[in-house]
Chain A
Amino acid sequence: MAEAPAPRSPLAGLADALAGARADGVTLTDRSARARFNLRIDPKDVEALTAAGAILGGSLPRTPNTAATTVNGKILLWLGPDEWLVTGPAEEGAQLDDTLRGRLDGRHHALTDVSAMYATLALSGPRAREVLMKGCRLDLHPRAFKPNTCVQTALAKANVILHQTDDTPSYEITVRNSFSVYLATWLLDAMAEYRQG
């Protein structure tokens, strides 16, 4: 195992634009660096679910369109009936990988390191919802979409994982790397109307 050098954000090329991405009532920041694992477990395999939950410090959410934060700081995103995205701080990646793998060994599952596959953008502020409404067909109204709601959907012309993290509202938008510059550019454009002056 090599001592990993610092990763480079897929949005590195947009760093300057993002640094200035503050419009009236909404901000956009790059939160790409983190550990991410795609986890597949047959939901009928209760033991596997329990084992994973034990390591993660909280059970994998079974309710569609939700995310759960565990006691040891992992965020578990529901992606499908047998699919989750497990995320945590970047530096905990290797360890998480090892322990999960160890616990699930011998059971039918798939644990895939996708830490480097996505960019994550944080969009926050009272106008954040309105910015998203410009490109997302889902109902983002607080009656329907709340903190810990997490969906996979289309935002503009990119597929994203959209996770509301608080009721400012703030969102984390996770998108495949190759679409990230497009999506960030799109978001900056959608925010332009709220920019002063």
Chain B
Amino acid sequence: MRFRLKEGGRIDRAQRLRFTFNGRSYEGYAGDTLASALIASGTHLTSRSFKYHRPRGILTAGAEEPSALVQLGEGARTEPNLRATQVELYDGLTAAGVNAWPSANCDLAAWTGRLAPLFPAGFYYKTFLWPASFWKSLYEPAIRRMAGLGRAPEAPDPDSYDKMNIHCDVLVVGGGPAGISAALAAGEAGARVMLVDDEATLGGALVGLRHRVDGVDGAAWAQAAAGRLAAMEEVRVLTRTTLFGYYDHNSLSAFERRTDHLGPGAPAGTSRQRLWNIKAGRVVLATGAHERPLVFADNDRPGILLASAAQRYLNQYAALPGERAVLFTNNDAAYEVAHDIVEAGGTVGAVVDCRPEPAAPLAPALKEAGVALHTGSAIAATHGTKRVRSVTVAKLDGDGGLSGEQYRIFCDSVLVSGGWNPAVHLFSQSAGKLTYEEARGIFLPGTATQALEVAGAANGSFGLAACLAEGAAIGARAAEAAGFGDGTPPPAPPVEAPEPGAITPYWLAPGLKPLGHGKAKHMVDHQDDVTAADIRLAAREGFRSVEHVKRYTTVGMGTDQGKTANVNGLAILADALGKTVPEVGFTTYRPPYTPVTFGALAGRDTGALMDPVRRTAMHVWHEAAGTVFEPVGQWHRPWWYPKRRDDKHAAVARECRAVREAAGILDASTLGKIDIKGPDATTLLDMVYTNAFSTLKVGRVRYGLMCGDDGMVFDDGTTARLGENHYLMTTTTGNAAHVLEWLEEWLQTEWPELKVYCTSVTEQWATVALAGPRARDVLAALAPEMALDAHSFPFMSVKEGVVAGVNARVFRISFTGELSFEINVPWSHGRRLWDALMEAGAEHGITPYGTEAMHVLRAERGFIIVGQETDGTTTPHDLGMDWIVSKKKADFLGKRAWNREDSRREDRKQLVGILTDDPKKVLPEGTQLVDKRGQPPIPMIGHVTSSYASPTLGRSIALALVKGGRARKGETIYAAPETGFLPCKITEPVFYDSEGAKRDG
């Protein structure tokens, strides 16, 4: 730690930490970041840039870092592209710079830099065109080998993530002096306050400065304030938390790193990172400002960093940027940095100020300390490869060109300051409008469109006293708006800090050769290697919009989203186009402010919790029976029950046979059930079903089809009339919620005069379908008091009574064609009913059957399944179900649409049966059908909707929708080429018991 000062800083010297970087071992202290520890050890080279693999070092000390990107850790916990400036050091940390192989120090891909003249902005659009076939085989694979920065882990993530939702009266973003005083003011007034800051401790810029507040060191003041805030019951402070997205209606989202700084020492059970979704009454943005680099020739060598960053490394981490620094600036404030370095015992070789006659207050003191002052000058070149070794300083002439007078100054670090960009990212995300201030060359928050105010440096107030005062005033106002306090801010504490002083915006320092000539690069975007010459090239090629230039050159498109690059870039563009900066404008700010892990965005909605599994009352039984489940929407339904070594086919055949020959039970609890009551219930049903319900007798059940007003079928089911004005409707499993909403929508929006109440009772009733010739015997054993004979309990009727000792509703409906009872008992007795049926049915060979057997059985009988025989383009007539469409009712949903031209087409697809000539061949569901064999393209005439090996018929059967199919019965057609053009016959869509003789047993 050669560059660590003997004392000072805010690190914990008692805790030494070991870490490895780019294969070398280092030491640092608790309180260091990876970047500060490297700087303290004299290491500036970290990684390589995206395009030219140029050596990259540490440019900043915070969230805006474009350059020092590292791959942290190894194995399943490795993480790509982290900013070394934000990685807190822990013992045992390992990291390596990105985009370098074998290492940042010796990167084999550095040859790309030498070919740079061939790779200007957008070069790839102009080449790799010939021969065309090379793109896929050669060019693109080569490009992809060079693409990307870090690496994704190779194994699943062992850590967990979660989310919190929170509301507050006042959300303060940024815990610098402005944010702290806003939070204090609002908190003291009694409002519910939340303060988030992305650093480990509060204090913001104060932590890196030697300013004093209220008579104490600024960082200490911030610490004390943090203590005061912590003591307020209604204030919540979150550090290591980035507010990354500002959405509509004052919804904001933040990203908290809970354990990253602990490394392997993180407690088990605690989520690694947490997403906070915040609904704020008012927002105070106190996000500070980012210092902006100056653009000069080869301004990207390791060892060149922002002046404020150097100052922070010095004051916060007690680390000197090097042995001898040169400062390059356009403003007074930066002199303070040189001053701090000198005071700390470091060496500043020279201050280079591009302004002809700066009047920085600290200039005399620096001169006195032996620092050379080059005014009206710029750095025209830098030297050194993996670290800056010297700079060429040149005197500027009146037009900003080089006058010819040059000096070479040796140094191992260059500190640059081009002024400050208020961090307006979140303000802009909130849809606020920005304004441009010419004098300081900055974009400032203008008109807000949401309930927010901006305080401190983010608002262009760069002086400490102003930050504190503004924060307090806005905090108090925000609290008042929420109904707390009278808006009077608490008095601002006295400060000892220099005023920011003057600045002359300076966008581009000339190099020794004209821009774009020679090897020197005026780097604008350090990550993506976008140079000032690239921007000029884009302008020359007709890309005039700043958005075009961004996309053509990729300026600002890296992981830092151009926090240090964008304003410089657009100013250089403005100059190239002969426009003003505000005329050029800026590119859109978008979330996230800094990148957020997918893991945190997913939270705990992963694995088994990714989406609810809906379970019936018998689920545990099915599980124990080893059933294979079929996902139907969110439900898990038994698909088939393997027995011994049954494969699916054998199991389904066994289940089907049991239903046809003995008895089977199916867990049908998932069907939607809606209880409909009221004097107008019948009117409602008459409108939503295609058939009539007014003619249905109490105690009887009717099957119905539901259509949209476009005439297309979207649901079906049976509805029982339980009383004069009382019905129970059933829906398909997947559509239960939708159908209830459908009824409510019509009732509430179109027919509010109807007196009807609809209540979902899907999960009140567990339902078991008991089917098969022995069904009556089985049920009789459990319902001795219920008359079950076909006369007392006819098909399509309902009875209430006791089954297996519990009150039940039993429906005589059949989806299999066999004698069948659907027994409904309260959900809490569903398992009891199932067990009782299994027991009572044992002597009759009762067999549980799953959805697959159910599908086979109903297909044999020719019953449709909505969503399988229909796809949203199918009418009842297409299904051959005219019998269920009322001719008498004047109006019902769907009717009108069938008069339209397309609904009347003769060649609409109609439901038919299909029998393969070879009875053993089962067509895959979805198979397309054609009239003749041949080479594609071949016109299709329809497709198979359902297809099974029918154990009952001992052959394959299928249902299909075929153009004009009803008139084509008996004709031979062919299945799609995948099947080898299997010949098939068009038949009736009923294969079993078309007379319905079996349904009564």
Direct contact between A and B judged by beta carbons closer than 8 A: yes
Q: Which residues of A are in contact with B by a Cβ distance under 8 Å? A: 1-5, 7-10, 12-13, 32-33, 38, 40, 108-110, 112-118, 130, 133-139, 141, 143-144, 156-158, 176-179, 181-183, 185-186, 189-190, 192-193, 195
CA distance A133 to B828 in the complex (A): 30
User: Please, which residues of chain B bring their CB within 8 A of the CB of A112?
Assistant: 675, 677, 759, 761, 764
User: Please, which residues of chain B bring their CB within 8 A of the CB of A12?
Assistant: 620, 831
CA distance A13 to B617 in the complex (A): 10
Determine if B605 and A179 form an interchain contact, defined as CB atoms under 8 angstroms apart.
no
CA distance A103 to B975 in the complex (A): 64
CA distance A183 to B613 in the complex (A): 10
Q: Which residues of B are in contact with A by a Cβ distance under 8 Å? A: 162-167, 192, 269-271, 277, 279, 604-605, 608-609, 611-617, 619-620, 635, 670, 675, 677-679, 755, 757, 759, 761-765, 802, 805-807, 826-832
Task: Write the chain A residue with the least CB distance to B679.
Answer: A108
CA distance A54 to B830 in the complex (A): 34
Q: Beyond A133-B164, A178-B635, is A5–B826 a contact (Cβ under 8 Å)?
A: no
User: Please, which residues of chain B bring their CB within 8 A of the CB of A10?
Assistant: 615, 617, 827-828
User: Please, which residues of chain A bring their CB within 8 A of the CB of B755?
Assistant: 108
A179-B612, A193-B270 given. 17 additional CB < 8 A pairs? Answer: A3-B805, A4-B829, A9-B828, A10-B617, A32-B828, A33-B828, A108-B755, A110-B675, A110-B678, A117-B763, A133-B164, A144-B167, A156-B609, A178-B615, A178-B762, A182-B612, A186-B609
A-B contact pairs, 12 of them (CB 8 A): A2-B805, A4-B829, A112-B759, A117-B761, A133-B165, A134-B163, A137-B279, A156-B609, A178-B763, A182-B614, A185-B608, A193-B162
Q: Beyond A13-B620, A186-B609, is A114–B759 a contact (Cβ under 8 Å)?
A: yes
Shortest Cβ distance from residue A7 to the other chain B in the assembled complex, whole angstroms: 3
Determine if A189 and B609 form an interchain contact, defined as CB atoms under 8 angstroms apart.
yes
Q: Beyond A116-B828, A139-B167, is A186–B761 a contact (Cβ under 8 Å)?
A: no
Shortest Cβ distance from residue A162 to the other chain B in the assembled complex, whole angstroms: 13
Q: Beyond A2-B807, A118-B763, is A157–B605 a contact (Cβ under 8 Å)?
A: yes
CA distance A18 to B270 in the complex (A): 21
Determine if A2 and B832 form an interchain contact, defined as CB atoms under 8 angstroms apart.
no
Determine if A1 and B617 form an interchain contact, defined as CB atoms under 8 angstroms apart.
no
Determine if A141 and B609 form an interchain contact, defined as CB atoms under 8 angstroms apart.
no
CA distance A183 to B611 in the complex (A): 10
Determine if B764 and A185 form an interchain contact, defined as CB atoms under 8 angstroms apart.
no
Tell which of A9, A118, A182 has the most Cβ of chain B within 10 Å.
A182
Shortest Cβ distance from residue B778 to the other chain A in the assembled complex, whole angstroms: 19
CA distance A120 to B830 in the complex (A): 18
Tell which of A8, A12, A143 has the most Cβ of chain B within 10 Å.
A8
User: Please, which residues of chain A bring their CB within 8 A of the CB of B166?
Assistant: 133
Shortest Cβ distance from residue B915 to the other chain A in the assembled complex, whole angstroms: 39
Determine if B612 and A158 form an interchain contact, defined as CB atoms under 8 angstroms apart.
yes
User: Please, which residues of chain A bring their CB within 8 A of the CB of B806?
Assistant: 2, 4-5
Shortest Cβ distance from residue B784 to the other chain A in the assembled complex, whole angstroms: 12
Tell which of B619, B763, B807 has the most Cβ of chain A within 10 Å.
B763
User: Please, which residues of chain B bring their CB within 8 A of the CB of A13?
Assistant: 619-620
Partner of B613, one of A116, A138, A177, A182: A182
Shortest Cβ distance from residue A179 to the other chain B in the assembled complex, whole angstroms: 5
The 6 lowest CB-CB distance pairs between A and B, nearest first, are: A7-B828, A116-B826, A110-B757, A182-B612, A178-B614, A139-B167
Determine if A195 and B163 form an interchain contact, defined as CB atoms under 8 angstroms apart.
no
Task: Write the chain A residue with the least CB distance to B169.
Answer: A143
Q: Beyond A8-B832, A10-B617, A193-B271, is A137–B277 a contact (Cβ under 8 Å)?
A: yes
CA distance A156 to B615 in the complex (A): 17
CA distance A95 to B941 in the complex (A): 61
User: Please, which residues of chain B bring their CB within 8 A of the CB of A157?
Assistant: 605, 611-612
User: Please, which residues of chain A bring their CB within 8 A of the CB of B615?
Assistant: 10, 178, 181-182
Shortest Cβ distance from residue B617 to the other chain A in the assembled complex, whole angstroms: 7
Shortest Cβ distance from residue A172 to the other chain B in the assembled complex, whole angstroms: 18
Determine if B677 and A110 form an interchain contact, defined as CB atoms under 8 angstroms apart.
yes
Determine if B832 and A5 form an interchain contact, defined as CB atoms under 8 angstroms apart.
yes
User: Please, which residues of chain A bring their CB within 8 A of the CB of B277?
Assistant: 137
Partner of A176, one of B165, B270, B763, B805: B763
Q: Beyond A112-B675, A139-B279, is A5–B805 a contact (Cβ under 8 Å)?
A: yes
CA distance A116 to B619 in the complex (A): 16
Shortest Cβ distance from residue B733 to the other chain A in the assembled complex, whole angstroms: 11
Determine if B167 and A193 form an interchain contact, defined as CB atoms under 8 angstroms apart.
no
Shortest Cβ distance from residue B633 to the other chain A in the assembled complex, whole angstroms: 11
Determine if A186 and B269 form an interchain contact, defined as CB atoms under 8 angstroms apart.
no
Determine if B759 and A116 form an interchain contact, defined as CB atoms under 8 angstroms apart.
no
User: Please, which residues of chain B bring their CB within 8 A of the CB of A3?
Assistant: 805
Shortest Cβ distance from residue B300 to the other chain A in the assembled complex, whole angstroms: 44
Shortest Cβ distance from residue B106 to the other chain A in the assembled complex, whole angstroms: 45
CA distance A161 to B5 in the complex (A): 61
User: Please, which residues of chain B bring their CB within 8 A of the CB of A133?
Assistant: 164-166
User: Please, which residues of chain A bring their CB within 8 A of the CB of B608?
Assistant: 185
Shortest Cβ distance from residue B547 to the other chain A in the assembled complex, whole angstroms: 35
Task: Write the chain A residue with the least CB distance to B826.
Answer: A116
Shortest Cβ distance from residue B627 to the other chain A in the assembled complex, whole angstroms: 15
User: Please, which residues of chain A bring their CB within 8 A of the CB of B604?
Assistant: 134, 186, 189-190
Task: Write the chain B residue with the least CB distance to A12.
Answer: B620
Q: Beyond A38-B759, A115-B826, A117-B761, is A182–B609 a contact (Cβ under 8 Å)?
A: yes
Task: Write the chain A residue with the least CB distance to B164.
Answer: A133
Determine if B162 and A116 form an interchain contact, defined as CB atoms under 8 angstroms apart.
no
User: Please, which residues of chain A bring their CB within 8 A of the CB of B764?
Assistant: 112-117
CA distance A158 to B755 in the complex (A): 30
Determine if A8 and B829 form an interchain contact, defined as CB atoms under 8 angstroms apart.
yes
User: Please, which residues of chain B bring their CB within 8 A of the CB of A108?
Assistant: 678-679, 755
